[in-house]
Structure 1
Amino acid sequence: MSRRAGRCDWPPRRREARGQVLLVGAIVLAFIVLALVPVFNGVFAPDSAGSNEPPEVGEGPATLRAEQQSAARELAVRIGHGDTHASPAPVVDELSSALANYTRVSAESAAEQRGWFVETRLNTSSPGTVNGTRVVQREQARLVLPNGDARTWQMFPPGQRTELGWFVLRLDTSNLSDEDPLVVEVGNAPTDAMTVEIEKQENSRGVELSVGGAFETTDEPVVCDATNGQVVLDLYRGRSADRDCAFPALRGVEGPVDIEVQNPPGTPDERAVGVYDLVVRDGSKITADVDSCTDASATPTEPCTTPVLWQLSLETTVDGGRATYTTAQNVSVYGGGER
């Protein structure tokens, strides 16, 4: 009920009702995006916005533009780590649709409230749109070489390297040794390398991580607690998923890099058990033993590949009523984008 000068004005005028619907829609979408922030904000800090903004536009539109670019990154990860695809085209189409829906509601709400309009679009024809490759083992199993039992898996053949932008590993602690660690090594020899050794904490349900490298190491093992016998480690950013522990991050090694996983010695039944999810820029360099996730030969207990978007090319239009500005920007989703 709205009261003005002692009279009842119901139902509200159409413009007010529309503004309320748009505002509610914007709030709902904001909560969806904000729900991703605890997981992704280490990678998706917004780029600096406003330094190249025309002075007539003002701070408000520049801030919204930065928020929309940040939302585009978060949507790209949410879509890229959802369904698997045979080619990048469905990923691009899904992100374009999601971004259009998000920017339409948020931009119309801002236009209703503040008098200016900001809209961000994905430019799929721009060379700034760069594809990447996600390598994922979707169901818990022994971490061994695809289609084999070798305990050391070189993800890339000798001489083949690429950029690393994501590496999350979930381990079953009951299948880890407290003497012989699982080893993950990322390096760009002969310059830099980092080695992460993971083993079960003796007399505990957690794990211990020891990191060695040319420029950053751990003086003492870092203890990461497990939940229900599982521990989730973000090796790329150097922390557990629940942030109860932190350690030197693999992103400290400048790419392009080699990636190698070494299981403890012993029989295949004694190897570490878990799932993992990583993203590299050039998936064509991955060993040929890894199938596409959509191939009939792919199994969820072995790693497979699926396309993601490594870098986005965005176009943002700002309409302040008196003037309209369109700017283009390449925004990295993983890693540091182009080096």
Structure 2
Amino acid sequence: MVVAVHDLGRVMLLIVSLLVFGNVLASDVSGCADNPIVSRFKGSEIAGCRAVRFEALTLPTGRWSDDKHAWTAARDLSGRVSRLVYTVPGQAGGQEVFQSYLSALKAGGFTLAFSCHGFEDCGYGFAEQLLGGVRDTLAKRPNLVSHVISAASGEGKFSFLTAFLDRPQGEVGVSLMVVDRDKGSGLSMPVVVLRVVERQQMASGQVTVDARAMSKGLAKDGHIALYGIQFATDSAQIEHDSQGTLAQMAKMLVAEPKAKVFIVGHTDNTGQLAHNLALSKARAKAVVDALVTKYGIQPDRLMAEGVASFSPVASNASEAGRARNRRVEMVLQ
């Protein structure tokens, strides 16, 4: 494996002896290549991949609570996302593969945020939640999907970690699940499910929701989704990255002094409904408070409401869908 280490603007490559840089192999699925930051275990083959230029990814930093149907702790990181699934032919077992990755990440400057092994340690619904999007990643190897899910979700034969790397050009988050071979599930070799997110701002000029676009959206549809408003995980604290969108909201409201709007918070379906209803309303109220206190918008023109997961715009079965459902909307009163 190769882990890129970034220290005070310098770039070094740390090559860990147990793992080697994963050049493209003839047996790799076409169109796939190793992530440049974290590559492959020696001899493994790419069974599937998927890359997105910008996406919000939830990285578990705690076990799965089956009672609350939610992670006990997690971090959302937005940026370039790479998903890779490897098969590991040969004699290596799942624990050998997992420990090799763990050692390489630590040696490369990553900080381990969380690790767990199997149902009792991770939570019984852990693997099912993590592998929700594996069908998309393994689109070219559909026969492998059921074996992986059965071994992990059915038998609990997996190990998992989340780790982070601080670097000047943006934080990197890694989640890694190694599913061990299981004859009963038809999985004849370990499988590595790797997700890497390189934190970055969404490139400007790609999708711009400025004051004019907000005004047009409200005039046409009566509401508009504002994905530029971001919050800390499971919190109503507005992230600093949201200031640009808040400023455009205020600009629109100043330009249209008669307009009155609802600010509506939406969540995905992760967690308990009562909690999400309170959280979505608290987030909407935080936006209203920011518009009033920082931008001087009259409070009688704004009303906060939260609807949790009652009004999805995408399926909650995938991470991409859940990311679209987590949003703030401005709705004409």
What TM-score, normalized to structure 2?
Answer: 0.26
More helix by share: 2
Larger Rg: 1
TM-score normalised by L of structure 1: 0.26
